[in-house]
Amino acid sequence: MKKKLIRIILTAVLLAGAWLVEHFTALPMWQVLLVYLVPYLVISYDVLGEAVEGIMEGDPFDENFLMSIATIGALLIGFLPGAEPQFIEGVFVMLFFQLGELFEHYAEDKARDSISELMDIRPDVANVERNGVVASVSPEEVMIGETVIVKPGEKIPLDGRVLEGASSLNTVALTGESMPRDVSAGMEVISGCVNLSGVLKVQVEKAYSESTAAKIIQLVEEAGDNKSRSESFIRRFARVYTPIVVISALALAVIPPFFYDSYAPAFGVWLYRALTFLVVSCPCALVISIPLTFFAGIGGASHKGILIKGGNYMDALSKLSTVVFDKTGTLTRGTFDVEAIHPEKLSEQELLHLAAHVERYSTHPIALALRMAYTDEKDNCTVEDIQETAGQGITATVNGKTVSVGNDRLMATLNIILPTCERCASHVGTIVHVAIDGEYAGHIVISDQLKADAVKAIESLKQLGVSKTVMLSGDKREVVEQVAEQTKVTEYYAELLPTDKVKHVERLIAEKNAGETIAFVGDGINDAPVLARADVGIAMGALGSDAAIEAADVVLMDDKPSKIALAIELSCRTIFIAKENAWFAIGIKVAVLLLATFGMASMGLAVFADVGVMVLAVLNAMRAR
């Protein structure tokens, strides 16, 4: 880019010198041509080379070919009988073409800034502990199971689990969110996050090629391979359009002079018009600005934690009429919390205390919820004789008392008749019963919590014109009904198997109108078949989820369903800008082509219609960032 700028400045100086030579000397025309050839070759050698290369490869019809013919023709047209020399115009056309290319490269560099910021998640080095010594190596050299040391200010080099230490992680490059994430021993961490405070010892669980950072970088780099319909159309259009333009220009130069008394002078006039026609007709603005618009849009979205795998998915997002949600992990957090505690004879704290101790060693999400609600595990209680009954619950001896924690079926095996609880009518969730020495002691209501922005997400989609929001879940009907009532989705279906979800999505696809699309939003792990079946598969909460990144077309790098509306807004804006560029470029070119045909357009106006329009379209494309 710097080299091109130097060439442009040098050409401008040499062109000014050539103009002075032409106007203040009496050189013959062929010598004036030689003077102008110096700035012309300085600015055009690469374009001429590309044109020759295209001819050699049998694919000559591109902007380089059009510019080469037009400028060489302008330099030579003065030698025809009755024609005016166009030396300065010939060099100017190439100079402004290169200036337009400079703007294009600048715009591309700016568009890549968002991508480059994302690429900063790539860790440069890993401090791995081997035989008691810490060695700095490339992340690709670290094996699964090894331990890496991450100091404050360093990036997490590979996905793994914290063995020692506690810290806060900056995830902004992955999620677009500035709120740090706290981690401590036993928690998972992913590559690309920046360690802000304490020293962490992390046991590596994935090779670098399978790490989150590597997969995200690969996804964004490959996003350009999935062309939108607009991009694909422009490419096909240019292949057909360019040869038609060249043939039309040739006909414009050769045929009209036959209708004049003297062919040679008329040929010079019509050749100049044909050359002007060629300059105007170059499809640079379309071929460059449309793909650049989508590239800028994808880059801008990735900077906000929304990874869109190609322009075609932006097309689909802009036409959404229906958004189908999985419930757990999408509209709800997917983690259980204690909703209510209803003891019979004990206090609430005592009931929770016993249940948490019995569930101390279980990995079930409900057990985790109980332990999170009662954090004082080290209270000198003795827990012995732990027995787990699959599908029912757990029984253990706590301080000499036999405590059973589980569902209705576990209580039935103990011959306990469950009392009616009027207070449970106001709470929807999973009920965990507790019995002490064979007597009923009370129950705890555990429920999945709605995400903070779930209601806002549905409202925003409706405001954007999404006419139907559907929730599909395998959960119990009463739980699904409560979430549906809170979020105000238009339809909901409960107690579904994964195959049932696919059938519902297929039904919705069959019912949609032509030109409309359907999105499915899920966690990308259990919902892979539905993600693949929908027009747009959107994965939620993909931090550390390989399945989400692989299965979905759009990946939201945090747990916020409200980002779906933002993804739609960004896509609609990108499509609008692409259409703006297309109509602007086509409109200006058609107008100036008509003027050029009838000799009412100068070479300067032709340059504006080509290079000027391209520069304006490229600058407009940058708004997609």
Give the distance, in angstroms, between the CA of residue 602 and the centroid of all CA atoms in the same chain: 44
Q: Residue 383: which of 345, 374, 369 has the closest Cα?
A: 374
Beta-bridged to residue 343, according to DSSP, are 442
3-state SS of the chain: helix, strand, coil percent to 5? 55, 20, 25
Q: Residue 215: which of 179, 180, 187, 174 has the closest Cα?
A: 174
> Does residue 326 carry a catalytic annotation?
yes
Token couple for 293? 């618009």
- Using CB atoms within 10 Å of the CB of residue 463, give its burial: 0 to 12 exposed, 13 to 18 middle, 19+ buried: exposed
Q: Residue 415: which of 399, 429, 404, 401 has the closest Cα?
A: 404
Cα distance between the two ends of the chain:
21
Query: Sign of the C-alpha dihedral, residues 225, 231, 233, 238?
Result: negative
> H helices of 343-420, where?
348-358, 365-373, 408-413
H/E element holding 58?
Answer: none
- Main-chain dihedrals φ then ψ at residue 175, nearest 5 degrees: -110, -20
| Three-class SS state of 83 | coil
Torsion on CA atoms 396, 397, 402, 408, rounded to nearest 10: -10
> What is the rounded CA–CA span in Å between residue 596 and residue 606?
8
- Main-chain dihedrals φ then ψ at residue 567, nearest 5 degrees: -60, -40
Q: Residue 145: which of 206, 186, 188, 190 has the closest Cα?
A: 206
Which whole-number Å values give the CA distances from 322 to 102, 161, 231, 509, in the listed order?
43, 38, 25, 9
Contact predicate 189/183, CB 8 Å: yes
Within 10 A of 44 (CB to CB), how many other CB atoms are there? 26
Within 10 A of 22 (CB to CB), how many other CB atoms are there? 18
| Three-class SS state of 93 | helix
Angle of CA points 543, 547, 550, to nearest 5°: 100
Token couple for 207? 């090779």
Residue position matching structure tokens 């694919």: 59
> What is the rounded CA–CA span in Å between residue 228 and residue 80?
47
> What is the rounded CA–CA span in Å between residue 506 and residue 385?
50
Residue from 326, 475, 527, 559 carrying the catalytic annotation: 326
> What is the rounded CA–CA span in Å between residue 293 and residue 618?
8
Q: Mark residue 319 as left, alpha or beta (left: phi above 0; alpha: psi -120 to 50; beta: remaining).
A: alpha
Q: Which residues are catalytic, by number?
A: 326
